[in-house]
Amino acid sequence: MAELETFPNRHRSRDYTIVHTCPEFTAVCPKTGQPDFGTIRISYVPDRRCVELKSLKLYLFTFRNRGIFYEHVTNVILDDLVRALRPRRMTVEGDFRVRGGISTVVQASYQARRRGRRP
Protein backbone atom coordinates (compact mmCIF):
# COMPACT_ATOMS: atom_id res chain seq x y z
CA MET A 1 0.00 0.00 0.00
CA ALA A 2 1.13 3.54 -0.81
CA GLU A 3 2.60 5.32 2.21
CA LEU A 4 0.71 8.46 3.33
CA GLU A 5 3.52 10.98 3.72
CA THR A 6 3.21 13.94 6.04
CA PHE A 7 5.02 17.18 6.76
CA PRO A 8 5.12 19.24 9.96
CA ASN A 9 2.30 21.75 10.58
CA ARG A 10 4.03 25.13 11.00
CA HIS A 11 0.95 26.81 12.50
CA ARG A 12 0.04 24.52 15.40
CA SER A 13 -0.95 27.37 17.70
CA ARG A 14 -4.08 27.86 15.59
CA ASP A 15 -6.95 25.56 14.65
CA TYR A 16 -7.33 25.93 10.87
CA THR A 17 -8.97 23.82 8.19
CA ILE A 18 -7.55 22.09 5.10
CA VAL A 19 -9.92 20.64 2.47
CA HIS A 20 -8.73 18.35 -0.34
CA THR A 21 -11.22 17.44 -3.10
CA CYS A 22 -10.44 14.57 -5.48
CA PRO A 23 -13.07 14.11 -8.23
CA GLU A 24 -11.02 11.32 -9.82
CA PHE A 25 -11.71 8.46 -7.42
CA THR A 26 -12.50 5.01 -8.72
CA ALA A 27 -12.79 1.57 -7.14
CA VAL A 28 -14.47 -1.71 -8.09
CA CYS A 29 -17.86 -2.95 -6.87
CA PRO A 30 -17.13 -6.22 -4.99
CA LYS A 31 -20.53 -7.61 -5.96
CA THR A 32 -20.62 -6.93 -9.71
CA GLY A 33 -16.91 -6.46 -10.49
CA GLN A 34 -17.88 -3.22 -12.24
CA PRO A 35 -15.98 0.05 -11.65
CA ASP A 36 -17.45 2.66 -9.34
CA PHE A 37 -16.65 6.38 -9.68
CA GLY A 38 -16.90 9.26 -7.27
CA THR A 39 -15.45 12.31 -5.57
CA ILE A 40 -13.58 12.09 -2.27
CA ARG A 41 -13.59 15.21 -0.07
CA ILE A 42 -11.25 15.31 2.94
CA SER A 43 -11.52 18.14 5.44
CA TYR A 44 -9.38 18.35 8.58
CA VAL A 45 -7.87 20.51 11.30
CA PRO A 46 -4.22 19.46 11.49
CA ASP A 47 -2.36 18.92 14.73
CA ARG A 48 1.36 18.10 14.33
CA ARG A 49 1.30 16.84 10.73
CA CYS A 50 -0.30 17.73 7.37
CA VAL A 51 -0.75 15.20 4.57
CA GLU A 52 1.56 15.62 1.58
CA LEU A 53 -0.60 16.14 -1.55
CA LYS A 54 1.21 13.77 -3.93
CA SER A 55 1.25 10.87 -1.46
CA LEU A 56 -2.49 11.47 -0.88
CA LYS A 57 -3.07 11.16 -4.62
CA LEU A 58 -1.07 7.92 -4.77
CA TYR A 59 -2.90 6.57 -1.71
CA LEU A 60 -6.31 7.23 -3.33
CA PHE A 61 -5.09 5.46 -6.48
CA THR A 62 -4.53 2.24 -4.51
CA PHE A 63 -8.32 1.73 -4.49
CA ARG A 64 -8.44 1.69 -8.30
CA ASN A 65 -8.61 -2.07 -8.72
CA ARG A 66 -9.80 -2.98 -5.26
CA GLY A 67 -13.30 -4.38 -4.61
CA ILE A 68 -14.88 -2.32 -1.84
CA PHE A 69 -18.37 -0.96 -0.95
CA TYR A 70 -19.21 2.78 -0.72
CA GLU A 71 -19.93 2.67 3.00
CA HIS A 72 -16.71 0.81 3.71
CA VAL A 73 -14.33 2.82 1.51
CA THR A 74 -15.29 6.14 3.10
CA ASN A 75 -14.68 4.80 6.61
CA VAL A 76 -11.42 3.11 5.59
CA ILE A 77 -10.02 6.35 4.12
CA LEU A 78 -10.98 8.16 7.32
CA ASP A 79 -9.30 5.49 9.46
CA ASP A 80 -6.09 5.49 7.39
CA LEU A 81 -5.80 9.28 7.40
CA VAL A 82 -6.53 9.57 11.13
CA ARG A 83 -3.83 6.96 11.82
CA ALA A 84 -1.27 8.82 9.64
CA LEU A 85 -2.06 12.41 10.70
CA ARG A 86 -3.61 12.31 14.17
CA PRO A 87 -5.66 15.41 13.24
CA ARG A 88 -7.69 17.47 15.72
CA ARG A 89 -10.82 16.86 13.60
CA MET A 90 -11.45 15.20 10.23
CA THR A 91 -14.38 14.51 7.88
CA VAL A 92 -14.23 12.25 4.81
CA GLU A 93 -17.04 12.35 2.26
CA GLY A 94 -17.44 9.94 -0.65
CA ASP A 95 -19.86 11.20 -3.31
CA PHE A 96 -20.53 8.32 -5.71
CA ARG A 97 -22.09 8.43 -9.17
CA VAL A 98 -25.48 7.00 -10.16
CA ARG A 99 -25.93 3.19 -10.01
CA GLY A 100 -29.38 1.76 -10.80
CA GLY A 101 -30.76 5.32 -10.98
CA ILE A 102 -29.55 6.14 -7.42
CA SER A 103 -26.55 8.25 -6.37
CA THR A 104 -24.99 7.84 -2.93
CA VAL A 105 -23.03 10.06 -0.53
CA VAL A 106 -21.31 8.65 2.57
CA GLN A 107 -19.88 11.02 5.17
CA ALA A 108 -17.87 10.01 8.26
CA SER A 109 -16.14 12.19 10.86
CA TYR A 110 -13.48 11.88 13.55
CA GLN A 111 -12.99 14.15 16.57
CA ALA A 112 -9.87 13.83 18.71
CA ARG A 113 -10.51 13.50 22.43
CA ARG A 114 -8.32 16.38 23.56
CA ARG A 115 -7.72 19.20 25.91
CA GLY A 116 -9.64 22.16 24.53
CA ARG A 117 -8.53 24.75 21.99
CA ARG A 118 -11.56 25.36 19.78
CA PRO A 119 -11.97 28.14 17.18
Active site positions, annotated: 29, 36
Q: Taking CB under 8 A as the rule, does residue 17 contact its own copies?
A: yes
Residue-wise over 31-56: b if at least 16 C-beta within 10 A, else e? eeeeebebebbbbbbbbebbbeeebb
Q: Name which of 10 and 113 has its Cβ closer to its own copies.
A: 10
Tell me how far apart the alpha carbons of residues 39 and 77 are, in angstroms, rounded to a whole number. Answer: 13
Tell me how far apart the alpha carbons of residues 78 and 83 are, in angstroms, rounded to a whole number. Answer: 9
Q: Name which of 19 and 115 has its Cβ closer to its own copies.
A: 19
Count of residues near its own copies by CB under 8 A: 48
Q: Taking CB under 8 A as the rule, does residue 11 contact its own copies?
A: yes
Q: Taking CB under 8 A as the rule, does residue 20 contact its own copies?
A: yes
Q: Taking CB under 8 A as the rule, does residue 72 contact its own copies?
A: yes
Structure-derived torsion over alpha carbons of residues 73, 74, 80, 81, reported in degrees to the nearest 10? 150
Q: Give the amino acid at 52.
A: E
Figure out which of the listed residues 64, 66, 114, 117 binds its own copies, where binding follows CB under 8 A. Answer: 64
Q: Taking CB under 8 A as the rule, does residue 19 contact its own copies?
A: yes
